[in-house]
Amino acid sequence: MCCFCPSCIDEDWDNCSNFEYTGPWTLHNVHPRKPADVVDYVDAIGHGQGIGDQWVEGTIADVVEVGDFFAVEAEWPNDYSAEFWILQCTKPLHVLADTITDPYGETHEEGSSVLEGIWYQQFGKSPTCFVRYDSSPLSVVAARRVIHVRFALLATGVSRNSPSFKLPSDTLDAILASLQRSEETRST
């Protein structure tokens, strides 16, 4: 279920005004393949190391493993007005042997550090609701754009024939803080 009534948006599931249409549901937690502490841009800054793009790549993107969820800073402008994307890793950090253009038109140069994953898109009015499009091609993402890794998405059912998920509010807050810190660091 991924309902957008006022009660569900406020996470008051018992008072869903659309329960008769959504029916009963079971909550399934989707966790990274291996338990790990959340690593994000804010944590990296806190260690007092030099913060160049290469340092962030090696520290944050390098810990992502197949099955892990990770957030990346969205290129702006984009068709969805998204500040960040969520992906589930299908191929961890690697260096490209050739220049490639991914299915979304983004070109990645030979020698670039990238990750690959399944794309999750924010859906509806709630900033914590995401859908996974099984039919969408795998995304290739520059490692320098990774801002938050190893967090859980909570399965909520199906919306528009695609699996839907809820991003916990505290994880959303941490991703937004990482995004803000990333933008501040890149602008200095």
**Model pLDDT for residues 86-123, shown as the tens digit of each residue:** 999 999 999 999 999 888 788 999 999 999 999 888 88
Q: Which residues span the domain enclosing 146?
A: 26-187
Q: How far is CA 73 from the centre of its chain?
A: 9
Q: Tell whether 118 is covered by a domain.
A: yes
Model confidence at 10: pLDDT above 60: yes
Burial 101-129 (b: 16+ CB within 10 A, else e): eeeeeeebeeebbbbbbbbbebbbebebb
Return mean pLDDT, the chain.
76
Contact 168, 128 (CB under 8 A): yes
Q: Tell whether 8 is covered by a domain.
A: no
Confidence of residue 28 (pLDDT cuts 50, 70, 90): low
Total number of domains constituting the chain: 1
pTM (predicted TM-score): 0.69
Greater pLDDT, 84 or 23: 84
What are 149's strand-pairing partners? 39, 70
Residue 183 CB coordination number (10 Å) = 13
Q: Tell whether 156 is covered by a domain.
A: yes
